[in-house]
Amino acid sequence: MVAQLLRETSGGGVSNIHVDEQGQIWLIISPDSWLYRATSSGELTRFARNLPVDTPAVAVNAEWGDIYLTHSSGIYRIYCGE
């Protein structure tokens, strides 16, 4: 599934990968700076695009579902919980 995604994107690579407690895989694809989510059932979704350039890492809080992106200018948080 990840290999198929890389073929379909602009020839970039995975700049970061994170697996959360629910088994979902979170990938940042560069050079497009897109965030993808792959579920254990095989569903692949582009979750966010136009991330800050050179976002090196992604992490997910399994309890709340919030997503954290690290960047040289700070930590970005995408609120998914209540």
Give residue limits of the domains in the chain.
2-78
pLDDT along the chain (82 residues), means of 10: 60 74 81 80 81 73 78 78 54
For residue 11, the model assigns a pLDDT of 58
- Compute the half-sphere exposure of residue 45: CA atoms within 13 Å on the CB side of its CA: 8
Torsion angle (degrees, nearest 10) of CA 44, 50, 51, 54: 110
Q: What's the CATH code, domain 2-78?
A: 2.40.10
pTM score: 0.67
| Tokens of residue 31, six digits | 């050079």
Q: What sign does the CA torsion over 62, 67, 69, 75 have?
A: negative
For residue 4, the model assigns a pLDDT of 64
